[in-house]
Amino acid sequence: MPVIRWLISKTIHFFLGSAHERRSNAIAKQKEDGTFEGTSAGKAHNFEEQYAAAVRLLRTRIDQDFPDTYYARLSSGRNSAYDYGQDRAVAIDTMSIAIAMALRNGATVQQAAMAGAASIGI
C-alpha cells in the first residue's frame, strides 16, 4: 500500500509540478518583457485612478483661488504684476500630499478631495 501512495504522489507531483513550472516560466517571461501585472500593480493602478479623480474634483477650485499667472493677468480683481506661479506650485504640492496620504489611509475619492482642499484652505 505505501508503494501505491508513493507512486500516486509522484505522478500527481509530476503533472502539477510541470504546470507550476510552466506558469512560473510564463510569469518570468512577462516580467522580462515588462507586461506582467501582479496584484501590487493593480493596487497602484487603482491608486492612480483615485488620485486623478480627486484632483479633477478640485481643479476648478484651485484655478479660482490659485490662478495660473496667464489667467490671473486676464481676470479682473487680480494683481497682474504679481507672479502667482509660486503660490500655485506650493498649493498643488501641499494638496497632492494630503490627497495621497488620505488615499493611502483608505479614504474615498471624495474624502481625499476634501482633505486636499482643507490642506490649502479652499
Residue 78: the pLDDT is 64
Q: What is the DSSP letter of 66?
A: S
Kindly state the average pLDDT of the residues 99-119. 93
- What sign does the dihedral 71-74-76-82 (CA atoms) show? positive
Closest CA to 100 of 66, 61, 50: 50
Q: What is the pLDDT of residues 61-105, one digit of tens each?
A: 888 888 776 655 556 666 666 777 888 889 999 999 999 999 999
Residue 26: the pLDDT is 79
Query: What is the pTM (predicted TM-score) of this model?
Result: 0.59
Residue 86: the pLDDT is 85
